[in-house]
Structure 1
Amino acid sequence: MRIAFVGKGGSGKTTSAAVFARLLAASGHRVVAVDADINQHLGVALGHEGPPPRAMGTDLPWLKDHLRGTNPRIPSADVMIKTTPPGRGSRLVHLDPDDEVLRRYAAPAEVPYVVTGEFAESDIGVSCYHSKTGAVELWLNHLVDGPGEYVVVDMTAGADAFASGLFTRFDLTVLVCEPTRRGVGVYRQYASHAAEFGVPLRVLGNKVTDTADEEWLRAEVDKVEPGALLGCVHHSAWVRAAERGTAAPVAELEPVNRAAFEAVRAALDAQPRDDAFWDRYHRTTIDFHLRNAAAWGNRSTGTDLAEQIDPEFTYPVPVS
């Protein structure tokens, strides 16, 4: 299963993503966390010390060449873009620690994590951050995750998360929302975009201080979608200690806060992964690939990127 944490800057989405990833890992699941935010703080939130891992977003030639494998429709990495779908001969990837992509990019933290890379000074005025998050989109297009495996992604802040097709790559998107008018306003904006593409969106309240905060937030969220608020995270001594580098075992997270994150996990696990899932997933991949090809990809690569679509390709469905 794949989950993205989104929200306005300062809402606590990075901390929420880290706590949720730790909770999953502590339960014995295979988890990979992804820092796809322009401000790369997920590693610190996960307790990683030392230099960051090799950035996926600044190593695109290798990643593209690895993923294209022997696919005859993709003659070189130069004609691959972030939405290029897999085809027969493409190299599909997995969450096994021995997978070559994870060996190259994942840091051995409490929860293995990968990064897109920071927005460098050389990027200013030249490129946008989506050139880096595109690496994650390409990786997810080629990922076959199985039962009991999770990808937890900390996305860019604000509605900028909708500037690429990456937002469609998840089983569930969770918007971290403070009990404020501004926080709810961001949720309304997200909900409008998500509904257009059928993206499952739920809300996790954060920085809640009392019952009045929670009741107000639930009432405001219900105006958009009744029942979308999964739970609320109250001010947490456990989180504060973790942010200072002295995280206790996640089992010691306050019961009210643990219950909120367990509700997120229940909502994620309830998302359907039926027999038709991979077919729907691949059709969405193709749709966004054609959108990007027409908008800029064909012009940028000098080729007709629609030719990269293999009508005979199907994902190998993981066995439960």
Structure 2
Amino acid sequence: MKIAVCGKGGVGKTFFAGSLAEQFVLAGHPVIAIDADSSPNLAITLGLSADQAKAIIPIAENEELVRLKTGTDYSGVFRLSFTVDDIIGRYAVPTPSGASLLVMGTVKAMGSGCSCPAHSVVRALMRHLVVEREEVVILDMEAGIEHLGRATAEYVDILLAVTDANLKSLETAANICRLAQESDIRTIALVANRIADERQQEAVRLFAEQQNLTVIARVPFDRAVSESGMTGEPLDASASGAIKAIRELAKTLLGQP
């Protein structure tokens, strides 16, 4: 199963993606979590310390790796064909959550035809992860799916657009879903996150109804999540309403009762 998680900055997208990855691990599935955001911080959500997260060299910024994969004997000329399956074994970082983490780094418009070496490596690796790997792959994306490229997006099984009740967040999520509908992604849905009360829940429901979109999960506002984010202390998952909702979503996606 390949799941792309998108959404406007600040809606809790990365917490959701990391928590969903952990729930798949707890359900017994091998998971590769991909941080494809321009401001990567999925590592901390997956349980790594701030120092450990800082030590990770993103794939796009790993000059030695890019040179190894694309370099030739001719200046300004690089290879367009190369293997990437070994990158996962060498550079995927194990995390306390049980998921393996790959940080892609800042690569803009990967689907736009840019042919620079770093873009080529990341594009090939993303395609390999989504198309050829058997693990559950959770992709923490930026606001849209253009970074996947059309040839890769068609192999994603599920796109989840995370939003809170803010109108700007909802509009961004709706735009993401409209773009995704131009691909072959079979399941496209909203995740209502940080929902504090019935008024917010109703605002998301009405918006989704007007836009002909499905709300696949409602994750309640959880003060413990905010506290954990501020202090860096581990979240007590057993007492977290947000984690419980994400766990139920994972079961739904796996077809479990």
Same fold (TM over 0.5): yes
The whole-number CA distance in structure 2 between the counterparts of 1:249 and 1:9 is 25
Give, in whole Å, the separation in 1 of the partners of 2:15 and 2:142. 13
Q: 1:237/1:166 Cα in 2 relative to 1: closer, same or farther (>3 Å)?
A: farther
Q: 1:197 to 1:114 in 2, by over 3 A?
A: same
Task: Compute the RMSD of aligned alpha carbons.
Answer: 3.2
- Deviation at 1:118? 4.4
- 2:35–2:42 CA contact under 8 A, matched in 1: yes
Long gaps (5+) in structure 1: 66-75, 82-89, 94-99, 120-126, 271-320
Find 2:233's aligned residue among 246, 251, 254. 246
| Alignment match, 1:192 | 178
Larger Rg: 1
User: Deviation string for 1:210-244 (max 9, x for gaps)?
Assistant: 01111220121122235x10122222133224423
Question: Take 2:14 and 2:91, find their aligned partners in 1: how far apart are those partners?
Answer: 19
User: Distance in 1 between the 2:184 and 2:150 partners?
Assistant: 15
Partner residue, 1:144: 133
| Residue of structure 1 equivalent to 2:197 | 210
Change (3 A) 1:203 1:63: farther
1:113 paired to 2:114: no
Say if 1:189 and 1:162 are closer, same or farther in 2 by CA, change over 3 A. farther
Deviations 1:235-281 (A, max 9, x none): 21332244232113534322xx24431343245335xxxxxxxxxxx
- Give the SS at the match of 2:89: helix
Number of residue pairs matched by the alignment: 233
Alpha-carbon distance in structure 2 between the residues aligned to 1:132 and 1:38: 16
- 2:174 is paired with a residue whose SS is helix
Segment of structure 1 superposing worse, 195-204 or 2-11: 195-204
Cα distance, 1:187 vs. partner? 2.3
SS in structure 2 opposite 1:196? coil
Gaps of 5+ in 2: 72-76, 108-115
2:159 equivalent in structure 1: 173
Kindly state the Cα deviation for residue 165 of structure 1 after the two structures are TM-superposed.
4.4
Distance in 1 (alpha carbons) for counterparts of 2:224 and 2:28: 21
Cα shift at 1:12: 1.3
Deviation readout 1:72-127 (Å, 9 max, x if unpaired): xxxx970239xxxxxxxx78x5xxxxxx43331111212320111247xxxxxxx7
How far did 1:159 drift?
6.4
- The AA in structure 1 aligned to 2:169 is G
Q: How do residues 271-290 of structure 1 correspond to structure 2 at under 5 angstroms?
A: none
Q: Is the 8 A contact 2:191 2:218 kept in 1?
A: yes
8 Å CA contact 1:194, 1:201 repeated in 2: yes
By percentage of residues, which structure has more strand? 2
Cα distance change on mapping 1:224 and 1:217 into 2, 3 Å: same
CA contact (8 A) 1:23 1:250 kept: no
Aligned pairs (5 A) from 1:265-276: 265-269=250-254
Identity %: 22
Matched, 1:10 2:10: yes
Could you tell me how far 1:19 is from its partner in structure 2?
1.2
Match of 1:60 among 50, 60, 66: 66
Using a 3 Å threshold, how does the CA distance of structure 1 residues 223 and 21 change in structure 2: closer, same or farther?
same
Deviation at 1:169, TM superposition (A): 3.6
Alignment of 1:219 onto 2:206:
yes
Q: Is contact 2:5–2:161 with CA below 8 Å preserved after alignment?
A: yes
